Amino acid sequence: MATKTATPKHFIFLAIAAALTGCMFTKRTCSKYYAKASAKTYDMIIIPGIPLAGDSLQWSRVMRGRIYWSKYLFDKGIAKNVMYSGGAVHTPYYEAQIMAMYAEAIGIPKENIFTEIKAEHSTENIYYSYKKSQKLGFKTFAVATDPFQAKQIRKFTYKLDPTIDLIPFVVDTLKALEPTMINPTIQYKEAFKENFISLEQREGFWKRTRGTFGKNIDKHAYD
């Protein structure tokens, strides 16, 4: 499997943005969440999906950050298992399967990687992964993602189950990992969805908006 050293520079910009906007958790808040989580071990951490980037079909900076953060949590023993969630929403590739391929390529054991491919919105990533994990017998959960998304989903997550912890990634920690990051080559065609129709073509604006707020969730999924 061919690899090359990655030189992601975006993490510092996320830190600056977090300090300047109320739409993201600040570095200090992220560190507090991590400090709380680091004293625990979770059966499953949930990683919301994000599509492959553009015509290059490569992982985006945000996807890379989420996956490397999940590996960091796994390596630290905070996460026993990882579930990547996301259907073929904006591109004809299942987001969860793409992320799982990258995760295995950077060193998370395959037996500790799970996928959920029904979700099309962040709220659905949380709900469906939580329900699927419960069905598989897992008991303790956390959601790990970037500081922006973490703040957007915290109320929904708490309402679903107050025991689900959030672990937004710590920008300085990821920045320190930059020298060790690689860009692995994956077999992304294996995640291709036949007869794909994008979410924008299938649903109008208002239905997509409802989905963003968790109003389109199939409550019987993974019963």
On whether the CB atoms of residues 172 and 15 are closer than 8 A, the answer is yes
Residue 19 within a domain: no
Q: What is the pLDDT of residue 31?
A: 96
Residue 11 within a domain: no
Q: What is the pLDDT of residue 22?
A: 67
Segments of the chain with pLDDT less than 70: 1-22, 55
Backbone angles phi, psi at 165, to 5 degrees: -90, 155
Asked whether the CA dihedral 64, 66, 71, 72 is positive or negative, the reply is positive
Backbone angles phi, psi at 98, to 5 degrees: -60, -50
- Tell me how far apart the alpha carbons of residues 132 and 124 are, in angstroms, rounded to a whole number: 12
Residue 49 within a domain: yes
Half-sphere exposure of 106 (CA within 13 A, CB side): 26
On whether the CB atoms of residues 114 and 135 are closer than 8 A, the answer is no
- Number of domain units in the chain: 1
Residue 103 within a domain: yes
Residue 77 within a domain: yes
Q: What is the pLDDT of residue 132?
A: 98
**Which domain CATH number covers 57?**
3.40.50.620
Q: In terms of residue numbers, what domain contains 73?
A: 26-178+190-212
